[in-house]
Amino acid sequence: MKKSAFVTREQAEEITKAYPTPFHIYDERGIRENARRLKKAFSWNQGYKEFFAVKAAPNPFLMGILKEEGCGCDCSSYTELMLSDAAGVQGENIMFSSNETPAEEYALAAALGATINLDDITHIDFLEQTLGSLPKTLSCRFNPGGYFAMGTEIMDNPGDAKYGFTREQMFEGFRILKAKGVENFGIHAFLASNTVSNEYYPTLARQLFELAVELQRDTGAHVAFINLSGGIGIPYKPDQEANDIQVIGEGVRKVYEELLVPAGMGDVAIYTELGRFMTGPYGHLITKVIHEKHTHKEYLGVDACAVNLMRPAMYGAYHHITVLGKEEEACDHQYDVVGSLCENNDKFAIDRMLPKTEIGDYLAIHDTGAHGFSMGYNYNGKLRSAELLLREDGSVELIRRAETPRDYFATFDGFEVYDRLFPGERREAERENQG
């Protein structure tokens, strides 16, 4: 299978007249069409809602697009809650799933009307002490322990994860919450990451639906929704077959009708919290080749680095690379594609076969629309790039400017470093504010 970039060499050359590389660029059309496919796949469930995982791409422009397509937001921190509120996503359209949660984060979630998903049974008392009383709707995150497998294949190891209630704690927690006045209950679980299999959601759904029937029967609690969370992945490699979201939705429907409907629970809403699946394939990191190095290996040095995309350095993750303008040329040259950090793992590709590539060529690094920019950092004093949006009409919009040295030094207030580097600037800004 061929992976094609949604940006051409000509477009990159035009864009860089206003916005120099490196930058992340997102495809509005692709994001919208994908959100519509997801909604259609679960349209059989009257209460279905997708809560976009903000951690994947925390940008209000992207969140706004998904809001227009009917999505809410899944938040896990104070600032993600603030960002969702600023993007116009509020109330029950926010799902707050966090762990080791500070009191102020629970307080803000409650103030915004978000649905809170508890990660631990001890957080019941903590939340009650923080808010004074419990909300009428609460969710609990389930961790069954052990290994999560599909058939004979082990997909992940929930027993080693720090998240969630045990099975016994789910029953105890529901009884405690019901006694404290909670009326509507949710069940949430995330048992495997980035699965490229149409069977993950139906297999997870079976576990959660069976648990829901038992919980409602044994505790008398009303299960209002079941949140399948994330875990549906994307094909990073060209030879991987993409998930078929229509097949996945149909698989969940069959399990729903097999287990929940006969138990009188045909009104249970299904929620999802997808991030990578929603935006991942619809982002590129565009970077320019600025050096060639011929030593023990052949290197292409680019103006991006792990600051702009951490996944290859952190996980050894594969991201496909297109040399823009050379899509039809033979991939008969082997390169390491590297950035400028003082770390030897700052490599976007190792021994990658590409067309003959030269200084000045533009590279599109694929599938950076989720956990790309959002995982950026400032090691070596590197600055994070701009984010751009390729609109449906072909225009390009700046949706986050690139960081500047002023941004990097702005937090050194107590040491007057900023004032030494940019003398008088802060005082001038203060005079303007007063005026």
Q: Token pair for residue 254?
A: 């069959």
Residue showing tokens 């989720």: 370
Task: Say if residues 168 and 175 touch (Cβ distance below 8 Å).
Answer: no
Residue 347, CA atoms < 13 Å, CB-side half-sphere: 16
Q: Quick check: is 331 catalytic? A: no
The one-character DSSP state at 198 is: T
Length of the chain: 435
CA 334 – CA 352 distance, rounded (Å): 5
CA 88 – CA 112 distance, rounded (Å): 11
CA 426 – CA 232 distance, rounded (Å): 47
Other C-beta atoms within 10 Å of 69: how many?
A: 18
Pairing status of strand 184-188 against strand 222-227? parallel
54 phi and psi angles, rounded to 5 deg: -55, -30
Strand residue runs (E) in 147-297: 148-150, 153-156, 184-188, 222-227, 269-272, 283-294
| Helix axes 78-86 and 60-68, enclosed angle (nearest 10) | 60
Among 71, 140, 305, 342, the one annotated catalytic = 342
Residues taking part in catalysis: 342
